[in-house]
Each structure stands twice: as C-alpha cells, then as structure tokens.
C-alpha cells in the first residue's frame, strides 16, 4: 500500500530556485532537484508539468538517482500525473534525487506529492558549499546526451552532466544553476527571444516575470558567470557595450555577495575564425573578460578570477548536439572548474580529506 505525503512536506528538500505554493514547490531552472529519503521498496511521485507558453512544445524530464546512481529518466507529460520512480528495491533505506534535466524552455515542474510503501524520512542535509552558476547553453548542458551529429531536442538535454553541475558534485556543493540556451548579456542568439539573462537571473521561475528571486535566500561561496557566446554571434555585436553590460552583472554579484569568489569564465565555443577567418572574436572576448577581472583586482577585489575553458580536441572528445560540448568535454571542464575553486572548499573535519578527481 502506498502512503502519500504532500509536495510541501518538510521531509522533502528542494535544491535550486523554487517557488512555494499550496500544492507544492515549483521549479524550472535546469539541475533543480528534489531530494528525499525513504525506507521501503516502491516509490511514486506526483508532479505537474506546465509547458512554457511559446512555440516550442518540449516536455520536461527528470533524472532519477537512487543511492548515488542514475537509474531512470522520467519523460513527463503535460499536466498532472503519477510516475513510478522505483519498484522492487531492497527493503532498506534509500536516498533519492529527482533532477530536472531540461531547460526553462521545456517548462516548470510542480511537486504535488511523494508516495512510498514504507516510511518517508527526512532528506539528507544540504552539502556544505554553495555554488551559483549563470550561463547559456554550455552551462545548461545543451545536447550533452545526444549521439554524434544530432540536432537538439529535449530528449538530449541533461543538466546533471553539464560541466558546472559535475564540478558541484566534485566539490560537494549545493548548486543553483541559472542557464538558458541562446540567451546573452545584450543580444540573444534568437532575436525572437526578447528577454536577456540580466533580467532572467532576477527570477525564481525564468518563464514567469512576476517571480522575483530573493538573492539572500541562497548566499553562495562561489559564483561562476559564463556568458557572451550568444552575444558575439550576433552581427550587431558591440564590444564596448558588451563589456559595460557584462561588468554590470559582475558588479551586481559583488554588491550582493561581498565575500563570495567570482569566476568569470570564457566559454569553449568562441573562435577567432568563426564565422569567417580573421574575425578575432575569441581574442576580443579574452581581452574584454580578463580586462574586467584585472580592473577588479586593481581596485582591491582579490576574490575574483578569470577562467578560460578550452574546446579540447573534438577528434578525441567529440561533440554533443549542434557541435556543442560533449559529455567528455563537460567532464574535463568540470575538473578544471573544481581545481579553480579548490581553495574555496572549507577545511574538512579532522581525519578526512577533499580529493578532486575526474568523474565518469
């Protein structure tokens, strides 16, 4: 017999930005997660998938992680539905995480309830570090689950395998991931998408302009900003205007979080010879972002750094969909970021150690 608990039950824990409601928490940013613990063999979940009001009719997907391993991918249907998360597990305690794999364009998920054949226990506590990441398709893990040569659709989205998400796993950090493919600082890749990341990052639910986020509800130990790939792809790109707008984002982060490490990252998809030889966009972006960091350092802000992410060798690592980074590239970049943030990791308790290593 399945006993149900409401989605708002205090024994459940949400990681990532969410909005509370009478029916249960609602979340839409990629890599947002529901964490729970139960004793028993069978687990069900009742959720509502609300599609974004746009022309794209993608549906959301949840990655099911049980006792540390991904065991399933739940493709959600529009509206309310019950999904069987686990069946015939060993009769003991299990830790379960349900991770939103899809981007904001797929919609928002409301957790309505959790049912199990045993007892629902308190979820594991939050991990000790806090990481906030702001980015676009690269940070969202666009097409990371697709086969070589694929064109993107929601089936190939997997934010759990994105480079920042994997770095958070290595570091043992709670993650708030604010990423949406095609979005930029001053220009979006798609001119029909009129909302830019500086406005989207203010929202708890990216598709809802009324859901203002309280920035003090999650004070991170580190902020990673990786924007600009979509801006520089636009023909109207203006380097001076871009630099000013990017600096405003970093200044806002520093004003909100005076003691937080800020990492300004240069993504791996910008090239000097794209779209035509001699364009020099990578060099220009490197000068702009590293110069921004240098200006902060000269003003006495020593808790900021510049991190360039190399594209790697596609012959060795391959591509995800639409020549975006592959799973192998994301795994490599995760280790790069984890090492860049290794000094942010708090001192471990006596007799323990923090080991930074690659993950499969």
The pLDDT tens digits of the residues spanning 166-180 come to: 999 999 999 999 999
Q: Is residue 358 part of a domain?
A: no
Secondary structure string (H, E, C) spanning 20-87? CCCCCCEECCCCCEEEEEEEECCEEEEEEEECCCCCCCCCCEEEEEECCEEEEEEECCEEEEEEEEEC
Domain CATH for 39: 2.60.120.260
128 is written with which tokens?
A: 């000790």
Q: Is residue 357 part of a domain?
A: no
Least confident of 126-140, 206-220, 252-266, 339-353: 339-353
Domain span at 180: 129-344
Kindly state whether residues 177 and 319 are assigned to the same domain: yes
pLDDT tens-digit series, residues 70-102: 999 999 999 999 999 999 999 999 999 999 999
- The SS3 assignment for 226 reads strand
Kindly state whether residues 104 and 158 are assigned to the same domain: no
What is the CB neighbour count within 10 angstroms for residue 26?
24
- pLDDT for 56 beyond 80: no
Please answer whether residues 245 and 263 qualify as being in contact, where contact means their C-beta atoms are separated by less than 8 angstroms. no
Kindly state whether residues 180 and 76 are assigned to the same domain: no
pLDDT tens-digit series, residues 243-294: 999 999 999 999 999 999 999 999 999 998 876 777 788 999 999 999 999 9
Kindly state whether residues 103 and 244 are assigned to the same domain: no
Bridge partners of residue 98, in order along the sequence: 34, 64
Write down the residue that tokens 């409401």 correspond to: 6
H/E element holding 15? strand 13-15
CA distance 37 to 93: 7
Query: Backbone phi, then psi, for 289, in 5-degree steps?
Result: -75, -40
Q: Is residue 325 part of a domain?
A: yes
Kindly state whether residues 80 and 163 are assigned to the same domain: no
Decide which of 95, 121, 147 is a domain's last residue: 121
- pLDDT for 301 beyond 50: yes
Q: Is residue 349 part of a domain?
A: no
Kindly state whether residues 145 and 111 are assigned to the same domain: no
Q: Is residue 350 part of a domain?
A: no
Domain CATH for 339: 3.40.50.1110
Whole-model pTM: value is 0.94
Full DSSP string of 93-138: EEEEEEEE-S-GGG-EEEEEEEEESSEEEPPPPPPSEEEEEEESHH
For the chain, the average pLDDT equals 93
Residue 133: predicted pLDDT: 98
Kindly state whether residues 236 and 162 are assigned to the same domain: yes
CA distance 81 to 223: 36
Decide which of 103, 121, 139 is a domain's last residue: 121
Q: Is residue 201 part of a domain?
A: yes
User: What is the arithmetic mean of pLDDT over 298-305?
Assistant: 97
- Helices 163-171 + 327-340 axis angle, to 10: 50
Kindly state whether residues 47 and 71 are assigned to the same domain: yes
Q: Place 351 in a pLDDT band, splitting at 50, 70 and 90.
A: very low
Residue 320: predicted pLDDT: 94
Q: Is residue 18 part of a domain?
A: yes
CA distance 219 to 196: 23
Kindly state whether residues 138 and 98 are assigned to the same domain: no
Kindly state whether residues 213 and 95 are assigned to the same domain: no
Instruction: Region of 16 please: left (phi>0), alpha (psi -120 to 50) or beta.
Output: left
Q: Place 318 in a pLDDT band, splitting at 50, 70 and 90.
A: very high
Residue 226: predicted pLDDT: 98
- pLDDT for 160 beyond 80: yes
pLDDT tens-digit series, residues 23-46: 999 999 999 999 999 999 999 999
- pLDDT for 353 beyond 80: no
Residue 148: predicted pLDDT: 86
Please answer whether residues 179 and 133 qualify as being in contact, where contact means their C-beta atoms are separated by less than 8 angstroms. yes
Kindly state whether residues 64 and 135 are assigned to the same domain: no
Q: Place 233 in a pLDDT band, splitting at 50, 70 and 90.
A: confident
Q: Is residue 148 part of a domain?
A: yes
Q: In total, how many domains does the chain have?
A: 2
Decide which of 121, 154, 170 is a domain's last residue: 121
Kindly state whether residues 266 and 229 are assigned to the same domain: yes
CA distance 226 to 252: 15
């Amino acid at each position: 017999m399945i006993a149900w608990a409401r989605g708002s039950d205090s024994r459940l824990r949400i990681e990532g930005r969410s909005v509370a409601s009478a029916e249960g928490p609602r979340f839409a940013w990629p890599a947002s997660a529901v964490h729970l613990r139960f004793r028993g063999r069978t687990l069900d979940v009742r959720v509502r998938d609300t599609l974004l009001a746009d022309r794209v009719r993608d549906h959301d997907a949840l990655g099911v992680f049980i006792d540390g391993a991904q065991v399933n991918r739940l493709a959600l249907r529009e509206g309310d539905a019950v999904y069987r998360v686990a069946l015939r597990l060993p009769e003991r305690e299990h830790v379960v995480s349900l991770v939103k794999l899809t981007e904001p364009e797929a919609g928002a998920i409301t957790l309505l309830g959790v049912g199990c054949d045993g007892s629902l226990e308190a979820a594991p506590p939050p991990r000790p570090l806090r990481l906030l990441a702001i980015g676009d398709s690269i940070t969202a893990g666009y097409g990371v689950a697709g086969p070589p040569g694929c064109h993107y659709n929601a089936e190939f989205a997997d934010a759990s395998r994105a480079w920042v998400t994997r770095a958070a796993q290595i570091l043992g950090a709670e993650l708030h991931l604010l990423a949406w493919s095609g979005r930029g600082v001053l220009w979006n890749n798609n001119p029909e998408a009129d909302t830019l990341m500086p406005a989207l990052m203010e929202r708890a639910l990216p598709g809802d302009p009324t859901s203002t986020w309280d920035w003090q509800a999650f004070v991170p130990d580190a902020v990673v900003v990786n924007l600009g790939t979509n801006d520089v792809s636009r023909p109207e790109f203006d380097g001076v205007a871009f630099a000013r707008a990017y600096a405003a984002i970093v200044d806002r982060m520093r004003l909100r979080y005076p003691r937080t490490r800020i990492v300004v990252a240069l993504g791996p998809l910008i090239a000097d010879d794209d779209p035509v030889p001699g364009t020099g966009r990578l060099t220009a972006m490197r000068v702009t972002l590293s110069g921004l960091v240098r200006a902060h350092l000269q003003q006495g802000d020593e808790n900021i750094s510049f991190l360039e992410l190399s594209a790697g060798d596609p012959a060795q690592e391959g591509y995800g969909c639409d020549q975006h980074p592959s799973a192998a590239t994301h795994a490599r970049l995760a280790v790069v970021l984890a090492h860049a943030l290794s000094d942010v990791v708090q001192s471990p308790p006596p007799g323990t150690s923090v080991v930074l290593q690659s993950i499969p």
